[in-house]
């Protein structure tokens, strides 16, 4: 198999690239390097490209032909909830425009399999403790809206020209499969906490008055290596005869939630540092709780998470220290 990975020099993408390389697949990476690092992709060819650029379809068609690409894993996107609320037009232009260019190039080149990096943000603020894929998809911020539109676009391409797609709705991703592939971009809770500790500052908790057991947001934290393995399971599924007969949307999580305060307690245990947070007002666009029902991906793709919250925090801390 020859796989093109957009955003493959980033945090999650680099883990998928490495797993694909380890099992002997041919890999080519497309990344604009705004958040990614070229050294993360190993010996994979790297095409530096903004997918939303006008020239992107032509460049992608060339890469598909040069590397005889069979399938695509699409990560490249803007992904900050708060930033999306402040800059919605930028998110639509980058996430939706970039994906439109990718799908057009795939159609032109006859590349018919796609694993899409979607998000639990597509659910919005669900009124249930555990979220199923067949529940309402009502995103409450522009980031989640662009991911839901991305799923619609993939489905439309399936009807129009036969694209096979698996849309993976990630819950909160953290940890590191290898110390050199840690999350180097400080956008998610655990690296934000580590950055604050390095600077001798109190980490900030946005909101302690949510309708959750301790008042802080509850999320399902999935280890990045587990998540990367889910992408390989999805690629293998799309290559099989059963693809198209089942579902195209899959939650990827552990099925267990942890609050922000609970994560901070695990950080204390792992690091030995007495983490005392500063509590501020809620951020716009943050739902109180998001926890995955993971039965569909288990039953259809044969994937389950193998690592818990302590594994995730400990691996993230090891990678953080290795990068300092």
Closest to 1 in 3D by CA, of 71, 66, 65, 64: 71
How far apart are the C-alpha atoms of 36 and 316, rounded to whole Å? 17
Question: What single string gives the DSSP state of each residue in 185-207?
Answer: STTSHHHHHHHHHHTT-PPEEE-
Calculate ∠ Cα 240-241-247, nearest 5°: 85
Residue 55: count of CB within 10 angstroms of its CB: 10
**In sequence order, which residues have a C-beta less than 8 Å from that of residue 262 and are 6 or more positions away?**
214, 309
Annotated active-site residue in 91, 143, 210, 221: 143
Instruction: Reduce the DSSP state of residue 13 to 3 states and report it.
Output: helix
Residue 165 contacts residue 115 (beta carbons within 8 Å) = yes
Q: Distance between the two ends of the chain, CA-based, in angstroms?
A: 36
How far apart are the C-alpha atoms of 134 and 249, rounded to whole Å? 9
* Residue 170 among the catalytic residues: no
> Which residues have a catalytic role annotated?
143
């Amino acid at each position: 198999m020859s796989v093109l990975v957009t955003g493959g020099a980033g945090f999650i993408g680099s883990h998928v690239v490495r797993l694909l390389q380890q099992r002997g697949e041919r890999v080519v990476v497309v990344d604009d390097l705004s958040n990614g690092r070229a050294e993360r992709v190993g010996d994979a060819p790297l095409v530096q490209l903004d997918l939303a650029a006008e020239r992107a379809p032509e460049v992608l068609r060339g890469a598909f032909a040069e590397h005889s690409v069979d399938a695509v894993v699409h990560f490249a996107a803007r992904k900050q909830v708060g930033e999306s609320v402040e800059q919605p037009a930028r998110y639509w232009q980058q996430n939706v425009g970039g994906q439109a260019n990718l799908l057009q190039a795939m159609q032109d080149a006859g590349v018919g399999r796609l694993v899409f990096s979607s998000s639990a943000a597509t659910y919005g603020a669900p009124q249930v403790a555990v979220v199923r894929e067949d529940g309402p998809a009502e995103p409450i911020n522009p980031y989640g809206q662009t991911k839901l539109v991305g799923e619609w676009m993939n489905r439309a391409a399936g009807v129009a020209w036969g694209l096979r797609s698996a849309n993976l709705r990630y819950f909160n991703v953290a940890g590191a499969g290898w110390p050199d592939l840690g999350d180097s971009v400080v956008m998610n809770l655990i690296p934000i906490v580590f950055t604050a500790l390095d600077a001798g500052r109190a980490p900030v908790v946005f909101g302690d008055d949510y309708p959750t057991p301790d008042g802080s947001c509850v999320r399902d934290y999935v280890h990045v290596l587990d998540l990367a393995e889910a992408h390989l399971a999805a690629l293998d599924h799309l290559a099989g005869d059963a693809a198209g007969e089942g579902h195209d949307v899959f939650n990827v999580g552990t099925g267990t939630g942890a609050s922000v305060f609970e994560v901070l307690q695990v950080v204390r245990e792992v690091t030995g540092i007495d983490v005392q947070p500063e509590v501020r007002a809620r951020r716009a666009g943050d739902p109180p709780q998001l926890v995955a029902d993971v039965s569909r991906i288990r039953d259809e793709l044969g994937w389950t998470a193998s690592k818990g919250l302590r594994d995730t925090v400990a691996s993230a801390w090891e990678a953080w220290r290795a990068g300092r």
